[in-house]
């Protein structure tokens, strides 16, 4: 346990930290990864970059700060370093895998429209998904007058005549659909390689379907850790980091 930022600042002021053999009493002193930092008698490593995987909960916005609404960075708490930001965006009502880092270069590469990084989603769709929609997604759905999405893989997992409450509870606060789901509910998986605003919702809308719940389950070869409950996060493992760097 490294302690909170506040606790660490106090320890530094008390002289418990040395940098290259010199006592450091200024918590704001800049260090690099080549400096030798000793804290309470033990060598510690300075990490320039941090990489987290979060299971974004429903009702939280993907931003660093906001005056009115809770952001994904608020979830990390006051104890976080100030230069972190989310990689890309999930809608307020979308849950699932979100990367958070302070590595601007990596984020830029992952989000570059030229890289076509894979993003995989699980969704519940109001209505029946058939071969027609699967073929349309495969060809590329036109979502705006001047924008046709790249080919995407759509897979129907299950179809139920009637939605059950659990369909929506599984994503906890996900909104229940407006209609009574007369046509039943399709559970699907879809992979896209772009990141247009509301892309998945727009793709289904252009096929006359409504997305009831949306969850991102993979990004750039990294899968959402099933052990993370909504609102929980953890450091990326070194294997996951290697996968990320390979994907861009
Ligand atoms: N597509 C959407 O419509 N919303 C998201 O949050 C992500 C992809």
Q: pLDDT tens across 50-84, in order?
A: 999 999 999 999 999 999 999 999 999 887 888 99
Confidence label for 183 from pLDDT (cuts 50, 70 and 90): low
Residue nearest to atom 4 of ligand 1 (CA): 198
- For the residues 81-105, what does the mean pLDDT come to? 95
Q: How far, in Å, is the centroid of ligand 1 from the Cα of 160?
A: 23
Instruction: Residue 141: name the closest of 207, 210, 213 by CA.
Output: 207
On the question of pLDDT at 172 being above 50, the answer is no
Instruction: List, for residues 217-242, the tens digit of each pLDDT value.
Output: 999 999 999 999 999 999 999 999 99
Report which ligand 1 atom has the smallest distance to the Cα of 211. 3
- Choice among 38-42, 152-156, 238-242 with the minimum mean pLDDT: 38-42
pLDDT at 244: 94
Average pLDDT over residues 14-30: 89
Point out the catalytic residue in the list 40, 66, 91, 93: 91
Q: Are 91 and 214 in contact (CB under 8 A)?
A: yes
Nearest to 113 by CA among 222, 195, 198, 202: 195
Question: Is the pLDDT at 33 greater than 90, yes or no?
Answer: no
Token pair for 216:
């991102």
Pairing of the two strands 222-223 and 233-235: unpaired
State pTM to two decimals. Answer: 0.88
91 is a catalytic site residue = yes
Close Cβ partners of 165 (under 8 Å, ≥ 6 residues apart): none
Ligand 1 centroid–CA 200 distance in Å is 5
Q: Name the pLDDT band for 165 (thresholds 50, 70, 90).
A: low
Pocket of ligand 1 (CB under 6 A): 90-91, 94, 198-201, 214
Query: How far is Cα 171 from Cα 173, in angstroms, rounded to an integer?
Result: 6
Q: Give the distance (Å) from ligand 1 centre to CA of residue 91.
A: 6
At residue 164, the pLDDT reads 65
For the chain, where are the alpha helices, taking DSSP H only? 5-13, 72-76, 104-111, 131-139, 165-169, 199-205, 238-246
Under the banding of pLDDT at 50, 70 and 90, the label for residue 40 is confident
- The residue whose CA has the least distance to atom 7 of ligand 1 is 90
Q: Which atom of ligand 1 is nearest to the CA of 90?
A: 6
């Amino acid at each position: 346990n490294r302690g909170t930022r506040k606790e660490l600042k106090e320890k530094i002021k008390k002289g418990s930290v040395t940098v290259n053999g010199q006592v450091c009493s200024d918590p704001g002193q800049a260090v690099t990864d080549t400096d030798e930092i000793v804290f309470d008698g033990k060598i510690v490593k300075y990490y320039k970059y941090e990489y987290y995987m979060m299971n974004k909960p429903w009702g939280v916005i993907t931003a660093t700060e906001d005056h009115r609404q809770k952001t994904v960075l608020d979830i990390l708490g006051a104890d976080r370093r100030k230069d972190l930001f989310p990689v890309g965006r999930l809608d307020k009502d979308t849950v699932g895998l979100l990367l958070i880092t302070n590595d601007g270069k990596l984020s830029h590469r992952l989000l570059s429209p030229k890289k076509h990084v894979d993003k995989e989603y699980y969704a519940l769709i109001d209505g029946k998904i058939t071969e027609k929609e699967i073929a349309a997604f495969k060809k590329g759905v036109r979502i705006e007058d001047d924008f046709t999405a790249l080919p995407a893989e759509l897979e129907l997992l299950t179809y139920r005549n009637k939605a059950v409450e659990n369909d929506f509870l599984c994503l906890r606060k996900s909104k229940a659909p407006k209609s009574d789901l007369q046509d039943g509910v399709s559970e699907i998986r879809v992979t896209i390689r772009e990141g247009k605003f509301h892309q998945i919702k727009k793709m289904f809308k252009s096929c006359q379907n409504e997305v009831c719940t949306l969850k991102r389950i993979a990004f750039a070869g990294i899968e959402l850790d099933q052990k993370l409950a909504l609102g929980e996060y953890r450091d990326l493992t070194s294997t996951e980091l290697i996968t990320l760097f390979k994907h861009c």
